[in-house]
Amino acid sequence: MSRSHTARTSQTRTDWLARRLRASIRRGVLAPGKRLPSSREYSRTLGLGRNTVLAAFGKLIEEGWLVARHGSGTYVADPIPVIPAHARRAPADLAAAFSPTLSRRGMQLASTDRPRTTAFAPGVPDVSEFPFTQWLHCLQRASRRVTPRMLNYGQGGGLAALREALCQHLALTRGVLCDPGDIIITSGTADSLLLCATLFAEAGDGAVVEQPGYSQAAGVLRSAGLAVSAVSVDAEGLDPLRIQTAAPPRVLYFTPCRQYPLGHELSMARRAALSAWAQRYGAVLLEDDYDSEFVGSGEPRMPMRAAPGGESVVLLGSFSKIMFPGLRIAYVVMPHALAAQAQRAAARLFMAARPWEQLALAEFITSGRLRQHLLRMRASLARKHGWFRQLWQKELGDVMRLAGDAGALHGVAMLPPGGRDQPLVQRLREAGFAPEALSSMCLERPRSQGLVIGHGSLSMGELKRLGPRLVHEIAAGLRARA
Ligand SMILES: Cc1ncc(COP(=O)(O)O)c(C=O)c1O
């Protein structure tokens, strides 16, 4: 018999004995703290070489199943390890053997970072205006009303109290009539979009987004495996006649009440054309009504979901702007005919927010506090908008026009011909400001060049202090390029 064969056989016997001992310890046949027969006895009764027994003991000592007490023998560890020592120690070559890498869509998601500052960031409300003391009271009362049932599984779709309150809120402020059962509570618009992409499209289907538009939406739809293409918007909003997709379109994400970021309202003619387009392709319209409660000047803008025949439009909403982004509560209003199925699917994906916050929010809405807060926010936004506009006109009015309505959290300024927004945004970031480049909100070429400036992210005091510095920095950036 060759030497290597002998070594293999002895190794096999060691492993066999080690396995038997482990199994006996796991099953409790060898109880924690029990003294084992000596290696000599094992060797005799099992007919194994003593070295084989000692090697098996050594292995189990190393793994934490056994302990050797000098002069008194070998014992079963007490307590026995939940995860044996050998499994806790990563083999040295594990890292080399398996180093995970991100997928393409993972890398795409990871390629953009939110700036650290929120000064002048678009889409960010001034959270200092939020009535936190009132909110804390609602949370305290909610904490007393949370039931064990609410803490368990089965709350997919959201708590009934919040869905009922939201129904009232939507009817009152947005003219949307729906049943509580049509509403699904999620933890943010990204969740809402993932849910809709999953429910309405297969991987590889086409999705359409606006250009410029909410880049997060394109990112999420792409992450859901959809082939995303963009349709450009003009002063009437998106033009369905210009939609071109590589794959059959199944969903279209859009912001008809206040186009993000340009602020236009989708015209009636385009709304009709879009309905016809959706019907022709069997595509689902995902209407994001993200901040229309901040009505600016003029008539409130009506969601497509609220219009006659709009019941098949899926409405997405969020409390990030009208309350505060850290709340992470958003919602989807499903077409009534699909609502029950959608509720069951949503429950499988565990998307809804925490019960305390949901209950507190229901009370915040029904007690009228949300409406009071909205009224205050509207007035304050209009003041900020007016002040910033004046400053802009005075300092930069001849070079760049600032567009945007009084109800929006941000305005958009197009760069003069030939200007590039990315270097300018980089310069502003270095100075501590977070406006976004309009080009970064465009999926396809040609990309518009401009700045999306969130004056609504600051308090009036901060705006007065930082506004002139921002404007000065923009002017310097434009000059440096000239
Ligand atoms: C167009 C648009 N929709 C929705 C949201 C809100 O997203 P979330 O609910 O994830 O906070 C934002 C936030 O910036 C937005 O700009």
- Whether 140 and 239 map to the same domain: the answer is yes
Residue 7 belongs to domain with CATH number: 1.10.10.10
- Whether 403 and 281 map to the same domain: the answer is no
Residue 94 in any domain: the answer is no
- Whether 385 and 319 map to the same domain: the answer is no
- Whether 215 and 300 map to the same domain: the answer is yes
For ligand 1, atom 3, the nearest C-alpha belongs to: 290
For ligand 1, atom 11, the nearest C-alpha belongs to: 320
Residue 250 belongs to domain with CATH number: 3.40.640.10
Residue that terminates a domain, selected from 368, 401, 432? 368
- Whether 350 and 471 map to the same domain: the answer is no
Residue 121 in any domain: the answer is no
Ligand 1 pocket by Cβ (under 6 Å): 123, 188-190, 214, 255, 260, 288, 290, 318, 320, 325, 330
Which atom of ligand 1 lies nearest, measured to the CA of 320?
11
- Whether 313 and 426 map to the same domain: the answer is no
Rounded to whole angstroms, the Cα distance separating 482 from 362 reads 54
- How many angstroms is it from 248 CA to the middle of ligand 1? 26
Residue 103 in any domain: the answer is no
- How many angstroms is it from 239 CA to the middle of ligand 1? 23
Rounded to whole angstroms, the Cα distance separating 113 from 93 reads 33
Number of compact structural domains in the chain: 3
- Whether 332 and 376 map to the same domain: the answer is no
- How many angstroms is it from 365 CA to the middle of ligand 1? 20
Report the pLDDT value the prediction gives residue 407, as an integer from 0 to 100.
Answer: 84
Rounded to whole angstroms, the Cα distance separating 316 from 305 reads 10
pLDDT (tens digit, 0 to 9) for every residue of the chain, 482 residues total?
A: 455 556 667 778 899 999 899 888 888 889 999 999 999 888 888 888 999 999 999 999 988 999 998 888 999 999 887 766 666 665 555 555 567 888 888 888 888 777 777 899 999 999 999 999 999 999 999 999 999 988 887 677 999 999 999 999 999 999 999 999 999 999 999 999 999 999 999 999 999 999 999 999 999 999 999 999 999 999 999 999 999 998 999 999 999 999 999 999 999 999 999 999 999 999 999 999 998 777 666 677 899 999 998 999 999 999 999 999 999 999 999 999 999 999 999 888 876 778 999 999 999 999 999 999 999 999 999 999 999 999 999 999 999 999 988 888 999 999 999 999 999 999 999 999 999 999 999 999 999 999 999 999 999 999 999 999 999 999 999 998 75
Q: In testing the pocket of ligand 1, which one of 320, 323, 332, 409 has its CB within 8 Å of the most ligand atoms?
A: 320
Q: In testing the pocket of ligand 1, which one of 216, 257, 457 has its CB within 8 Å of the most ligand atoms?
A: 216
Q: For 236-276, what is each residue's pLDDT tens digit?
A: 999 999 999 989 999 999 999 999 999 999 999 999 999 99
Residue that terminates a domain, selected from 339, 368, 397? 368
Owning domain of residue 151: 126-368
Report the pLDDT value the prediction gives residue 97, as an integer from 0 to 100.
Answer: 58
- Whether 180 and 204 map to the same domain: the answer is yes
Residue 363 in any domain: the answer is yes
- Whether 221 and 353 map to the same domain: the answer is yes
- How many angstroms is it from 320 CA to the middle of ligand 1? 7
Q: For 213-224, what is each residue's pLDDT tens digit?
A: 999 999 999 999
- Whether 74 and 140 map to the same domain: the answer is no
For ligand 1, atom 7, the nearest C-alpha belongs to: 189
Contact 17, 56 (CB under 8 A): yes
- How many angstroms is it from 330 CA to the middle of ligand 1? 9
- Whether 345 and 290 map to the same domain: the answer is yes
- Whether 218 and 320 map to the same domain: the answer is yes
- Buried-exposed string 435-460: b where 16+ CB fall within 10 A, e elsewhere: bbbbbebbbeeebbbbbbbbbbbbee
Q: In testing the pocket of ligand 1, which one of 112, 126, 189 has its CB within 8 Å of the most ligand atoms?
A: 189
Q: In testing the pocket of ligand 1, which one of 118, 318, 328 has its CB within 8 Å of the most ligand atoms?
A: 318
Residue 151 in any domain: the answer is yes
Tell me, letter by letter, the H, E, C secondary structure of the chain.
CCHHHHHHHHHHHHHHHHHHHHHHHHHCCCCCCCECCCHHHHHHHHCCCHHHHHHHHHHHHHHCCEEEECCCEEEECCCCCCCCHHHHCCCCCHHHHCCCCCCHHHHHHHCCCCCCCCCECCCCCCHHHCCHHHHHHHHHHHHHHCCHHHHCCCCCCCCHHHHHHHHHHHHHHHCCCCCHHHEEEECCHHHHHHHHHHHHCCCCCEEEEEECCCHHHHHHHHHCCCEEEEEEEECCEECHHHCCCCCCEEEEEECCCCCCCCCCCCCHHHHHHHHHHHHHHCCEEEEECCCCCCCCCCCCCCCHHHCCCHHHCEEEEECCCCCCHHHCCEEEECCHHHHHHHHHHHHHHCCCCCHHHHHHHHHHHHCCHHHHHHHHHHHHHHHHHHHHHHHHHHHHCCCCCEECCCCCCCEEEECCCCCCHHHHHHHHHHCCCCCEEHHHHCCCCCCCCEEEEEHHHCCHHHHHHHHHHHHHHHHHHHHHHC
Cis peptide leading into residue 261 (ω within 30°): yes
Residue 99 in any domain: the answer is no
Residue 133 in any domain: the answer is yes
Residue that terminates a domain, selected from 344, 368, 392? 368
Residue 273 in any domain: the answer is yes
Residue 418 belongs to domain with CATH number: 3.90.1150.10
